[in-house]
Amino acid sequence: MVAENKIPEGKIFCYHNPDYSLSFYARSDVPTIGLNEVAGLKKGSWVFTDQLGYNDLKKKEIKFKVLKTFPSYRVTLLKLSFLYRKTRERQLKNDYLLEII
């Protein structure tokens, strides 16, 4: 999504959840920044975060819109409950691609 939309370096950041696959697909380094840095981002900046980061931004009253929600599961923590189709949904968490508005 990042590469397809030609988001330039310096316009997309990770908050709370460094995601190395995002850097791979963006074809550039996506820096991880802190909450105060997110609060200082210009309109039009993109932020990739997890559920905890999303909640932090809401509490801090940072204005954003959700561009896309991604189901997420850390495969390094693989468990039987994820492999079993009937219980997989309960194991998923959400990651979010947000735009600062």
Q: Quote the pLDDT of residue 77.
A: 74
> What SS3 string covers 33-99?
ECHHHHHCCCCCCEEEEEHHHHHHHHHCCCCEEEEEEEEECCHHHCCHHHHCHHHHHHHCEEEEEEE
Q: How many domains does the chain have?
A: 1
27 falls within a domain? yes
Q: Quote the pLDDT of residue 30.
A: 87
Per-residue pLDDT of the chain (101 residues; tens, 9 = 90+): 565 666 766 788 999 877 777 777 777 788 999 999 999 999 999 999 999 999 999 999 999 999 999 887 666 677 787 787 887 777 788 899 999 99
96 falls within a domain? yes
Q: Quote the pLDDT of residue 3.
A: 58
Domain that holds residue 34: 12-100
Q: Quote the pLDDT of residue 10.
A: 76
This prediction's pTM? 0.81
35 falls within a domain? yes
4 falls within a domain? no
74 falls within a domain? yes
